[in-house]
Amino acid sequence: MTNRTPDAASVTGQVTLRAPLTGWLRPWHWVAIDGVVAVLLALVFLVGSTRPAYGIPLWVTYLLALVSTLPVAVRRLWPLPVLGVVLAGSAAAMAIGTGKDPSVAVALVLYLVALRYPRSTSAAVLAGVLALTAAGTIAGGAALEHNQASAVAARFTGSAVVLTAAWVIGVAVRQQRAYTAGLREQAERRVQAQLAEGRRAATEERLRIARELHDVVPPGVDLAAYRIIQEALTNVVKHARTTASRVLVTYAGDMPGGHRRRRRRPC
């Protein structure tokens, strides 16, 4: 009866967690995707830019459009610094009453902050983002006199919904990944425990078989050695004309119970 130790493949076959479909993407792939998204956002904001209030030149609008969108390309490398740059550009753009609502670009970076940082940290960041967005929206409403309070409130509400949704999704994905990582760790611990148990059982089985062989065979060998020594001593007595002899029996060091025996037998 053979006792087979389970291998890692057979054990993990029961607990394998499938990788997500995007698992084949490398970090630089994601950076490249973010770069494409950032360029598209920049084009949208540049096309939708309008002349700012307070007599500010139009090129300032274009500059703020680039500042509030292009850094999204490296959001995975430096989430918090990129968020600060994008948020500053977005708030300034809103404050001078230009173009599109840049909260989408801010939301893309805020999602990553919520994904990578603890909830308490990302919640504080969200509060700061909402406060600065509110300030920029109110300043932009004051810059354009035809904007009523209801329009300003509606614009801020839309931005707040987008930003909060991005934060909530980031937190949810972070929790899901932590849960999946916990499951994977538990599965690995179970695999290691099963492998260790299999090795222990196999070792015990080998020891049991060795003991049984020992009980059946290390007696037959003793009897054969005894008979050989007995015959040798008899020949010594017959032919060497002596009254005493000594027999030295040596066992190899790597054999079970290896030791030396010395027997003296008078003639």
> Are 168 and 87 part of one and the same domain?
yes
- Which residues 6+ apart lie within 8 Å of 76 measured at CB? 27, 30, 31, 34, 112
Between the two ends of the chain, the Cα-to-Cα distance in Å is 50
| Single residue among 138, 161, 188 that ends a domain in this structure | 188
Residue 197 maps to a domain: no
> Are 156 and 230 part of one and the same domain?
no
pLDDT at 245: 78
Amino acid at 177: R
> Are 35 and 78 part of one and the same domain?
yes
24: its two tokens: 């084949």
Q: What is the pLDDT of residues 46-100, one digit of tens each?
A: 887 777 777 788 888 889 989 999 999 999 999 999 999 999 999 988 888 776 6
Domain count, the chain: 2
Residue 210 maps to a domain: no
Give which of 98, 77, 102 is closest to 87, Cα–Cα.
102
Q: What is the pLDDT of residues 168-202, one digit of tens each?
A: 999 999 999 899 888 888 889 899 988 888 888 88
Q: What is the pLDDT of residues 96-120, one digit of tens each?
A: 877 667 789 999 999 999 999 999 9
Residue 141 maps to a domain: yes
Q: What distance in Å separates the CA atoms of residue 163 and residue 133, rounded to the nearest whole number?
A: 10
Q: For residue 237, give its domain range.
A: 223-266
> Are 39 and 93 part of one and the same domain?
yes
> Are 132 and 261 part of one and the same domain?
no
Is 194 in contact with 10 (CB distance < 8 Å)? no
